Each structure stands twice: as C-alpha cells, then as structure tokens.
Structure 1
Amino acid sequence: MTENIEIHPLSPFLPPNAKMLMLGSFPPPKHRWKMNFYYPNFQNDMWRIYGLVFFDNKDYFLNEDKTAFDQPKIEQFLQEKGIAVCSDPL
C-alpha cells in the first residue's frame, strides 16, 4: 500500500501579540495562488470579508490593479489586530 503524504506549504503566521488564532485547512493547488500566504486563491472571499467587516470595503486587501491580494497589507493588518493564522494539520 502506497501512502501519499501531503506537506503543508506555509509556516504558521504568529505575531508576538496574537490574541486570536484563525485555523484553516490546506490551501488550494499552487497554480491557483495569487500570493504566498493563507487563503491565496483569488476566488476565496476570506480577505474580502475581512475588508468588509473591518473597513467597510470588500476590495481593501486587493492590490492596486485588483488582480491579487496585497500580502504585506494583510500581514500588517493581522499584526496590528493580533490575529495568528495557522492550518489545523500542522
């Protein structure tokens, strides 16, 4: 019997001031990624929902040409709010 072992491609994002941990699962296949971070698929609405909830703007975390997410902006926001992100398989 051959077992396929999938290795999670992302390290946990753990700001030193973290007060909350957001757990997810494995990301989509790499060819669908728009950034090298959690919830990287542009069709996934996680960062749009965060934009709506915190900034009343679903496009808040998009790059200037609205073709991908702005990873540095997301990371800065998570650090400021004390939100850690990790996948439950880790």
Structure 2
Amino acid sequence: MPEIVLKAKVDEFLAHRVENLVKRGVFKNEEAFLKGAVKEMVRKYEIDEINKKMDVFAQEMAKRHPKSLSEAVLEVRMEEDERL
C-alpha cells in the first residue's frame, strides 16, 4: 500500500519525550513512533464509535424489554415449576 506523508508540529517538550523513547529503544525511530501513535488513535476512535453504538442499542433493548436478565430467567423458571 502506498504511504502518504502527514505533517505535524509538536512542542519541544513532547518532541523530547518522543526522542527519549527512541533513544531507549522503545521505538526504532520517530517515524515508527508516529505510525504507532496514529494507528493507536484511529483504533481508539473506532472503538469509541462502536461503544457508543452499543450503548444506544442497549438502551433501546432496555426500553423494549424492561425486565433484567435475572428477572426474566426467574420468571421462566417459576413458569416451568408451575407446569411440573
């Protein structure tokens, strides 16, 4: 896949922190750090979006089915007991 150049400016403090990570061998170089950071932020954003959709879905399901799972299971068990 072809690579595209992204430009970013950071303050001196942050640049030194990245430089220290590279010197310690945590990252091969600044480019490796930036690629990892961008991937992580994209992944985090995508997970946040999915979580929001799941929350909306859960709220809709709670409105449609106001009983908790425990209450529903107990109700079914009581119905089974009555039949026996």
Does the pair score TM above 0.5?
no
> What is the TM-score of this pair, normalised by structure 2?
0.26
> What is the TM-score of this pair, normalised by structure 1?
0.25
Structure with greater contact order relative to length (CA < 8 Å, sep ≥ 6): 1
Larger-gyration structure (1/2): 2
Give the structure with the larger helix fraction: 2
